[in-house]
Amino acid sequence: MTTGIKTAKPEAIPADALPLVKSGRGYTMLDGIRIVDLTTSIAGPSATMLLADMGAEVLKIERPNGGDDARAWGPPFLDGEALWFASVNRNKKSVALDYSSPEGLEILHRLMKTADMVVVNVSPRVARKLKIDVATLRALREDLIYVSITGFGIDGERADWTCYDLIAEGYSGIMDVTGEAGREAQKVGAPAADMLAGQDAAFGAIAALFDRQRTGKGHVVDVALVDSMTRFLSCRIMPYLGSGTVPTRSGGRDSVIAIYQAFETADDPITLGLGNDNLWQRFWDAVGKPDQASMDGRRSNIERRENRDDIVAEIASILREKPRSHWLPLFAAARVPAGPINRVDQVVADETLHRRGLFYRMTADDGRIVPQVGTGFVIDGTPNVPRCAPPRLGEHTDDILRELNSSSTQ
C-alpha cells in the first residue's frame, strides 16, 4: 500500500494530496459470505461496509428513484456523489430494486435464498409491511442471520418510533454531559450513535456467523441506536448507580482522573492526562519542578481531585509560558500522555495515520477518483486495501439479476 503524500496544487481539493491506492483483494476473512443490505443513511451502511471490508459480498439494495437517503446528503458533492454516502459504502454492489412492488419483492425473496445474512434498518411495522420482517425472511432460509438496526429495538412500546442519531444521543444522556458548564447540551460532533450501532451490528453479525458455523442455526441480532449510545456512557452511568451523584456538563473537566483535560499553551491548546502516580511525578519532573509531585494534598489521585482547582490553575499557568511545539516533544520524551487538539485538516495530514493506511484515494471502474477513510485497524501487519469504490446507484443490477436468473434455470 502506498503511504506517501504528494503535494497538492494550490487549486486542488484536499483529497488530491492523498496517496492513490490500487484496488485489490483486501481482507478475506468473510470471503464467500453473501449479505443483502436493505439499509440506508449511516448506521446500517457503516455496519455492512465493515463486513464488506472483511471480505463479505454485500448486495446493497436501493430504491431505483434516489437510492440510499445519504446519496442526497450535501453539499459538498464530489463528481456528483455525496461524500457522506461515499464514507460508508465502499466494497459493495448496488442493485436498484423496488421491492414494494410484487415483481421486485419476488426478486428480493429469490436473492434472500442465496444470502447468509440480511441487514435492515426499518421499524418492525414497516418491515412487516414490506415483507422483510424476521418471520418472512427466515421462512425463505432457516439459517439466515437477520440483523436489525432501529432506534429502540424490535419490540416494546417504542419499537415503531422513528429515530435518528440526534434523537438517540438525547435519549442516551451523552448530550446532557457534553458541553461547557452552564451552557446548552451539545450533540457529539459526529454521528456517534449511528457509528456505534453500526459497529455493534457488525460485531453481533460476526458472532452469529461464528455460532452458525458450529450449530447450523441462524440468529436475530437486534441493535438499537439508543442502546449503543447508552452503553457508550456506561463509565458515567456506573458512578451514578453507586453514588447517586448525577454527572453534569463540565467541558470535560470532571474526570475521575484528577488531571485529565485540555490546557492552553502560549499558542495552541493541548490535552494532558495524568492517570496515575508515576505519570504525575513524570510530569513535574518534565516541567522542572519535581518537588511539586509530593506536596501535601497531591500524593494520590483522591487528594488531587479534592484539590483539583488549585492544581489545574498552577499547571495552566506553567503551560501558558511556552508554545505547544515546546511542550509536546518534552512530554513525549518523558512518556507523559499529551497531544494536540487537531482540526480535521491536521488529522488528515498525520503521517502516522497514513502509515497505518487510514486515508487514501482510489479509482472507481468509471474513472472517478474517490477519497476514503480506511477500515481503521491493521491485521497481520498489513492495512486493508479496497476492492471497489462506493457504487453508483444500480451499478450492479444487471450482473446480479443475470446471476440470479442463471442459477434459477440450472
Residue 251's pLDDT band (cuts 50, 70, 90): confident
- Cα 64 from chain centre: 27
C-alpha cell at 52: 464488506
Burial class (CB in 10 A: 0-12, 13-18, 19+), 386: buried
Residue 404's pLDDT band (cuts 50, 70, 90): very high
C-alpha separations of 265 from 104, 319, 326, 343 in Å: 61, 5, 9, 17
Q: Is the pLDDT of residue 104 over 90?
A: yes
- CA angle (30, 92, 21) in 5-degree steps: 90
d(C-alpha 9, C-alpha 27), whole Å: 33
Pair 375, 50: CB distance under 8 Å: yes
Q: Which amino acid belongs to residue 259?
A: I
- From the list 37, 53, 116, 194, the catalytic residue is 194
Q: Is 194 assigned a catalytic role?
A: yes
Pair 152, 224: CB distance under 8 Å: yes
pLDDT digits (tens, 9 = 90+) for 17-36: 999 999 999 999 999 999 99
C-alpha cell at 191: 454521528
pLDDT digits (tens, 9 = 90+) for 355-390: 999 999 999 999 999 999 999 999 999 999 999 999
Task: Tell me the mean pLDDT in the region 166-193.
Answer: 94
Candidates 39, 71, 34; CA nearest to 52 is 34
- Cα 262 from chain centre: 24
Q: What is the mean pLDDT of the chain?
A: 94
C-alpha separations of 154 from 65, 121, 173, 191, 225 in Å: 28, 10, 21, 21, 12
**How long a stretch of residues is the chain?**
410
Set out the domains of the chain in order of their start, with CATH numbers: 14-232+375-409 (3.40.50.10540), 259-346 (3.30.1540.10)
> Which residues, at least 6 apart from 329, have a Cβ–Cβ distance to it below 8 Å?
none
d(C-alpha 244, C-alpha 77), whole Å: 48
> How many Cβ atoms sit within 10 Å of the Cβ of residue 341?
12
pLDDT value of position 255 = 85
Task: Tell me the mean pLDDT in the region 225-245.
Answer: 96
Task: Tell me the mean pLDDT in the region 125-135.
Answer: 97
As a whole-number percent, the residues of the chain with pLDDT over 70 amount to 97
pLDDT digits (tens, 9 = 90+) for 313-348: 999 999 999 999 999 999 999 999 999 999 999 999
C-alpha separations of 195 from 225, 232, 376 in Å: 9, 11, 13
Q: Is the pLDDT of residue 2 over 80?
A: no
Residue 8's pLDDT band (cuts 50, 70, 90): very low
C-alpha separations of 5 from 166, 299, 348, 352 in Å: 35, 46, 10, 12
